[in-house]
Chains A and B, each alone.
Chain A
Amino acid sequence: MTLYLLRRLFGMALVLLAMSFVVYGLIGLMPGDPIDLMVMSNPGMTAADADRLRALHGLDQPLIIRYWRWLTAALSGDFGFSRVYARPTLEIIGPALWQTTKLVSLTLVIGSLLSVLLGVAAAIRPRGKFDTIVSFFSFAGISLPTFWLALILILVFAVRLGWLPASGMGPSDPSSLWDSLRYLVLPVSTLVIANVGGLTRFARSSMIETLRMDFIRTARAKGARSARVVWRHALPNALTSVVTIIGLNFGTLLSGALVTETMFAQRGLGKTIYDAVLGNDFNLALVALLFATFATLLGNLLADLAYAWLDPRVSVT
C-alpha cells in the first residue's frame, strides 16, 4: 500500500516535471518578451541596454539553465512574480484555488447525487420510458457548449427574470449567507448541467451491470424486495463508479470550470490562467497551470483510492 502510494506520487511528480518543462519552454515562444516590452515603453533604451538587462535577468542563458534556476527556486517554494499584479504568484493563486474549490466541490456534491439518482432510476427499467428520457437529456448535457449554456442562463435568469446576479463574486462583506451564495447559483448550475449528463450515463450503465450480477440475482431470488435490492446492494456499486469517473475526469471538470469562471467573472484558477495568458503574464499562467494539473492528478489518485476503498474486491498493490 505504502509502496503503491509512493509509486503513484513519484509518477505525479514526473508528470508535473515534464509539464513544467514543456510549458516553461513554450513561454519563450509567447508574444511580448518582458525586455521587449520595456524597450517599447522606454524610447531612451538602446539595444545594448536591452542586452545588459537580459544578461542581468539571466535571459541570455540557454533554456535548460533558465529552467533549472526556475525549478530550484520553485522547489524551495519561490514560484516567482506575476508581471501584471507585481506580487508573488502564490498570493494570487491561493484565493483563486479557494474560489475554484468552492465551485467545484458544490458541483461535485450536487452533480453526483443527481446523477446517481437519475442513473439508478433509469437503470431499473432499461429502455423504458424514463430511461429513454434520461438518456436523451444526458446526451443533450454532454453536447452542450458550456459557455453557451452559461450565456443562456444569464439571459434567462439574470437579464429577463432578474432573479440572480449575472456575474461577480458578491460583496466582500456579505450581509447574509444567501448574499454570498446567490453569486454561486448560476455558475454552479452551469457546471452541474454540463457534467451531470456524462455522470448519469456512467451511473446508469454501472447500475445495469450490477443488477445483472450474481449476488443481486441471488438477493432477488431469496425474496428481497426489488426496491430494497436496488438501494441496499446495487446503489453503492453505482456510486463507486460515479466517484471513480469524477476523479478520472477531474481535468475535464477544471476545463469546464475555466469557461464558467470566465463567463461569470469568478476569480478562480481557470480564469486566472485565462487572464494571465491574455495579459502576457506567463509566469502566473505557468504556475496556475501546474496547480491545476496537480489538482487533476490528485483527483485521479483519490479516485483510485476511493475505488479500492468502496469496492472490497479491488486491492491496490
Chain B
Amino acid sequence: MTTATLTRASSSPWRLRWRRFYRNKAALSGLIVLGLLIVFSLLAAPLESFLEIDANNADLLSRFDPPSAQHWLGNDELGRDVLVRLMYGGQVSLAVGFAATLLGAMFGVTVGLLAGYFGGRTDAVLMRLTDGVIALPLLPLLIILAAIDLTKLGFSTDFARSGAASFYRIVLIIALVDWTRIARIVRASTLSVREREFILAARVSGAGTTRILVRNVLPNVIAPIIVACSQVLGSVILFEAVLSFLGFGIVPPTPSWGNMLNNAQELVTTAPALAIYPGLLIFITVVAVNFVGDGLQDAFDPRAN
C-alpha cells in the first residue's frame, strides 16, 4: 500500500526555532550574558565565605574603602562589601523579575485564553479592561499601591516590615500591571487556534471547555506566550529597580540593584562608583533580556520582523 512509507519526516518546529535563534548573534549573546548574570548572582554566598566576609555587616571604620584583596570592589557608605552585595542584589532583582513576569503571565494567559476562546462580549469586556490598564500611568499607580499599609490588611507588624513582605508585595503589584501585553498576545493566538478544526474535533469527542482550553488551546499558544514573557521581563526588571530606588520596593538591608542606588544621588559626588555599578548591571541585564526577547520573536515567527 502506498501509505506504508511515511513521507516528510522533518525536524520538529522547536528545533527549527532554536536553529534560527542560534543564528541570531545578538540574541545568542543576550542569552549567554543572562546566563552569566545568573551564575554571578548565585556565587554570592560561596564568594562571601571564600573571602571570609559578611556583606550584611556594617563596619563604620571601613566606609568607602577602596578595592582591596578582600573587598574587590571596595566598601559602601556603611562599610559593606560592594561586590557581594551586588551579587545578592542580583539574586533579588532577577527573582523579582522572573516571579512577577510569571505571576503576570498566569493572569494574562487566563485573560487572553478566555477572551480569545469565548469571543463576543466576554472578549469585549476583558479587552476593554486590558486596554484600560495599558493606558494608565503605571508608575504613579504602582507607588500608591506600594504605599499600602500591610497591617491594615491584617498582617502582623513584623511581617509587614520584613524583607520577605516587600518581596511578595513588589512581585504582586508589578504582576497587577504587567499582564496586559501577555493577555493581548495570547488572545490573538487563541483567536486563530480557536478556528482550527482540531478544536471542533475535540468537542465532537465530548471534551468540555476546560479540557479544550488546557489540553488543546494552551499547548498551541505556548510559543507566543514565551515570546511575550521574554519581552515583558525587561520592563519588569526596570519597574523593580525604579520602585526600589524610590523606596517603594525591596526594603534595605536586603539589597536589590534598585535600592543599592537609594543613596547614590548624595554619593554621586563622593563615591561615583557606588552609583555606577548597580545601574550598569540593571542596564546590562535588561539589554540582554531584550535581545533574547527580540531573537525569540524572530525565531518563532520569521515573517514578523
Contact = CB atoms under 8 A, between A and B. Distances in A.
Touch between chains A and B, by CB atoms below 8 Å: yes
Interface of A: 11, 15, 18-19, 23, 26, 28-32, 139-140, 142-148, 151-152, 154-155, 159, 205, 208, 248, 250-252, 254-256, 258-259, 262-263, 270, 273-274, 277-278, 285-286, 288-289, 292-293, 295-297, 300
B276 interface: yes
B34 to A, nearest CB: 12
Contacts of A142: 234, 286, 290
Contacts of A259: 139, 242, 246
A178 to B, nearest CB: 25
Contacts of B138: 251-252, 255
B31 to A, nearest CB: 15
A89 to B, nearest CB: 15
Given A26-B148, A255-B137, A262-B246, A147 B261 contact: yes
Interface in B157-185: none
Nearest to B150: A29
Nearest to B139: A255
Please indicate which of the listed interface residues A143, A152, A205 has the most CB atoms of chain B within 10 Å of its own CB.
A143
**Which size bracket describes the interface of B in this complex?**
35 or more
A30 B287 contact: no
Contacts of B294: 139
A29 B169 CA distance: 14
B144 A251 contact: no
A28 B275 CA distance: 36
Contact of B265 (A151, A288, A289): A151
A180 to B, nearest CB: 23
A289 B141 contact: yes
B282 interface: yes
B279 A151 contact: yes
B12 to A, nearest CB: 28
Contacts of A251: 134-138
B72 interface: no
Among B136, B148, B241, B286, chain A packs the most CB atoms within 10 A around the CB of B136
Contacts of B128: 11
A145 B242 contact: yes
Contacts of A23: 144
15 contacts: A29-B148, A30-B149, A140-B287, A146-B242, A155-B272, A248-B135, A255-B139, A258-B137, A258-B143, A259-B242, A273-B140, A277-B147, A289-B140, A289-B144, A293-B136
B206 interface: no
A277 B248 CA distance: 10
A253 to B, nearest CB: 9
